[in-house]
Chains A and B, each alone.
Chain A
Amino acid sequence: MSTGTEAWFDDPLVRPYAVTGGRTRSSQLGLDLITLVVALRTTAEVDLQPEYAKVLQMCQQPISVAEVSAKVDLPLQVVKVVLSDLITQGVVIFRSAINPAHEAPSQQVLQAVLDGIRRL
């Protein structure tokens, strides 16, 4: 049965930036959409508030920041702050995008991408 009351809970009851204590910037780690993160600990091993636990749970396998955001259904900016905190706590590690803006991608990387697409 679908009633109007269910819709109430579709939106998070906590305002998004309340999760991060009102912070909207995610330190100096330079996390972007495709930064990959992975958890070093499980949610059972660390005591975290619910949204942090949800994010940590999502990172048990390597995953991009954008995917975490889509899967926990929190805005990108919020997820970046949460992940930065988890990284600072040493609970999560990350790897930056291979191709920072100031660097040209290597021919090897480009060739690997081309070969990978051909194999699809």
Chain B
Amino acid sequence: MASEGSDRRLSAAVKIVVAGGFGVGKTTLVGSVSEITPLRTEELITEASSGVDDLAGVEQKSTTTVALDFGRITINQDLILYLFGTPGQNRFWFMWDELARGALGAVVLADTRRLDTCFPAVDFFERRGLPFIVAVNCFDDAYRYGTEEVRMALDIDPHVPVLLCDARDRESTKQVLITLMHHVMADARLARTR
């Protein structure tokens, strides 16, 4: 459908979404594996028409911007992977729709000092049926909870992987993405047998 007029000479792109509360380290995680310094793109929204696509006739309403940070990994000459951080503020839910649409999967980055900030993300991906994992970013001064404690606190299904990570560390972030891809592939296999 959308590919009509689209050109096969270009390589293709896929994306992974990195979600979590404000300041949990999403951009740090993206930056630790991205081949470019994370870029920021902004979307203009009129406050009055949030969630609605049409700005016609609302020129007088105030506008605000939502920032999305993202990075890039060239997989091979035909395939590019983009990693998108979700906007930190929960009121920009409608941006999540565009982010999640067509995504391979999502990483919910959690901070054990503020676990509740990732409830909305977990809820969103569960409802949306997008495969996700939970990565607990281990801040230096945070008490290290076990993954099972986090799983129970977030009430996550047993089949959803939960792991500890250090978002600043490239190898640790690689492990997070590898865990996600295994989960996505298992999910896809399951879908085919259904």
Contact = CB atoms under 8 A, between A and B. Distances in A.
Interface in B1-56: 1-3, 5-15, 33, 39-44, 53-56
B102 interface: yes
Interface residues of B, number: 56
A33 B98 contact: yes
Interface stretch (A1-9, A45-53, A96-104): A96-104
Given A34-B14, A77-B44, A109 B79 contact: yes
Contact of B10 (A62, A75, A76): A62
A115 B39 CA distance: 24
Interface in A34-61: 34-38
Given A67-B72, A111-B185, A114-B181, A105 B14 contact: yes
Contacts, number: 165
Contacts of A120: 33, 73, 170, 174
Contacts of B33: 117, 120
A91 interface: no
B80 interface: yes
Contact of A116 (B3, B41, B81): B81
Given A16-B44, A32-B102, A110-B185, A116 B79 contact: yes
B82 A36 contact: no
Nearest to A70: B39
B188 A104 contact: yes
Q: Give the interface centre of B10, B70, B101, B192 by most chain A CB atoms within 10 Å.
A: B10
B184 A117 contact: no
B152 to A, nearest CB: 29
Contacts of B72: 64, 67
A95 B188 contact: no
Given A24-B55, A117-B178, A34 B185 contact: no
Q: Give the interface centre of B13, B72, B81, B178 by most chain A CB atoms within 10 Å.
A: B13
Interface of B: 1-3, 5-15, 33, 39-44, 53-56, 65, 68, 70, 72-76, 79-82, 84, 98-99, 101-104, 170, 174, 177-178, 181-182, 184-185, 188-189, 191-192
